[in-house]
């Protein structure tokens, strides 16, 4: 008799896919139902050592599958522990540099944990602090947070991290760029001394290497792409234009109907707003996201871009990462 984890014709129950990485039971079923059938390279490298309790230092790009790479081992261990937790605590903490990335991480975790009794909560700036305090009050299994708001809750005594046994730092280089590193160090210091820590970064500047040295214990290093490389599907090119010509050049490029989904990055918030207005004057439907926009406005812009209501998304680099 064979099952989904047995190779046809084999006399032994040889495990394949995520089962071979140690994912079992309802979590394995939910993973398969979500369309995760074969592990991506980062998942194949990072999951087994995490299942053994090892710290991980991962170099991986956005879109590489790293969310499942750190979420599945945490979910597996939390499910095994059961639902008992203390008030105002979090068993696992995932830090992300932006609100959008934090929301995306929680969405993925909810899909992977479907059918399991695992609670999640978001702690983010720009939304009601009261509702977040209320959400963490009974205790939570997995907390996904941006460093600034999380620091506020810990400082005010609304959240205690002494029981936090799993800590994930996602997009460490972006947290460095945004000035969150000192917050990250304080947060890590407040977690359980015997915690398991995972750090993912797209690049490895010296500051991130030093952070890893201070937070990780004898980590396993995994890397799925050379540092600072673009995803294989991206064709890179450069167009040179004078400042006064940029609007016309951009409009000409966007008139190409083959460009079905376009993200335009701007260095400043003012620049992002100006580009969006220029595009609208030229007859293009565009949405914009940056730090001055409310969380609801940013989420609507992302949803409109995702479902095709708008073809063009203009964003500052920091707001768009993740």
**pLDDT at residue 142 greater than cutoff 90:** yes
Token pair for residue 47?
């999951």
Average pLDDT for residues 14-20, to the nearest whole number?
A: 85
At 195-224, the pLDDT tens digits run 999 999 988 889 999 999 999 999 999 998
Give the DSSP H/E element, type plus range, for residue 90.
Answer: strand 90-95
Candidates 103, 94, 100, 88; CA nearest to 72 is: 94
Domain ranges of the chain: 22-223, 243-320
List, in order, residues 6 or more apart from 74 with CB less than 8 Å away.
50, 92, 142, 166, 168
| pLDDT (0 to 100) of residue 226 | 54
Percent of the chain predicted with pLDDT > 90:
55
Fold of 22-223: Rossmann fold (3.40.50)
At 238-260, the pLDDT tens digits run 888 888 889 899 988 988 878 88
Res. 232 pLDDT band, cuts 50 70 90 = low
At 287-296, the pLDDT tens digits run 998 878 887 8
pTM (two decimals): 0.73
Alpha helices in the chain (DSSP H): 25-33, 41-51, 66-81, 99-112, 129-136, 147-155, 172-177, 181-190, 206-215, 246-254, 269-281, 295-306, 317-320
Domain 243-320 has CATH 2.40.10.330: no
| pLDDT (0 to 100) of residue 255 | 87
Res. 10 pLDDT band, cuts 50 70 90 = very low
């Amino acid at each position: 008799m064979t099952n989904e984890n047995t190779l046809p014709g084999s006399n032994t129950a040889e495990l394949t896919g995520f089962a071979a990485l140690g994912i079992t039971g309802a979590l394995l079923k939910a993973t398969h139902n979500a369309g995760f059938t074969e592990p991506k390279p980062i998942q194949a490298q990072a999951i087994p050592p995490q299942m053994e309790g090892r710290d991980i230092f991962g170099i991986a790009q956005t879109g590489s599958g790293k969310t499942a790479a750190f979420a599945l081992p945490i979910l597996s261990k939390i499910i095994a522990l059961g639902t008992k937790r203390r008030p105002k605590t979090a068993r696992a903490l995932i830090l992300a540099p932006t609100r959008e990335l934090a929301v995306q991480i929680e969405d993925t975790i909810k899909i992977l944990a479907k059918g399991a009794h695992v609670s999640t909560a978001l702690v983010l700036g720009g939304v009601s602090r009261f509702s977040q305090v209320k959400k963490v009050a009974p205790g939570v299994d997995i907390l996904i947070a941006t460093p600034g708001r999380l620091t506020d809750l810990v400082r005010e005594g609304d959240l205690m991290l002494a029981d936090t046994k799993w800590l994930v730092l996602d997009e460490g280089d972006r947290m460095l760029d945004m000035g969150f590193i000192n917050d990250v160090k304080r947060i890590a210091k407040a977690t359980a001394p015997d915690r398991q820590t995972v750090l993912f970064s797209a690049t490895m500047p010296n500051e991130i290497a030093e952070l890893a040295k201070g937070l990780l214990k004898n980590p396993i290093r995994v890397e799925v792409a050379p540092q600072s490389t673009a995803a294989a599907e991206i064709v890179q090119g450069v167009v040179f234009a004078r400042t006064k010509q940029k609007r016309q050049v951009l409009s000409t490029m966007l008139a190409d109907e083959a460009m079905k989904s376009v993200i335009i990055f701007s260095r400043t918030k003012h620049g992002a707003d100006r580009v969006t207005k220029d595009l609208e004057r030229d007859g293009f439907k565009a949405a914009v996201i940056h730090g001055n926009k409310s969380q609801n406005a940013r989420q609507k812009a992302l949803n409109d871009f995702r479902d095709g209501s708008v073809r063009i998304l203009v964003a500052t680099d920091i707001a768009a990462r993740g």
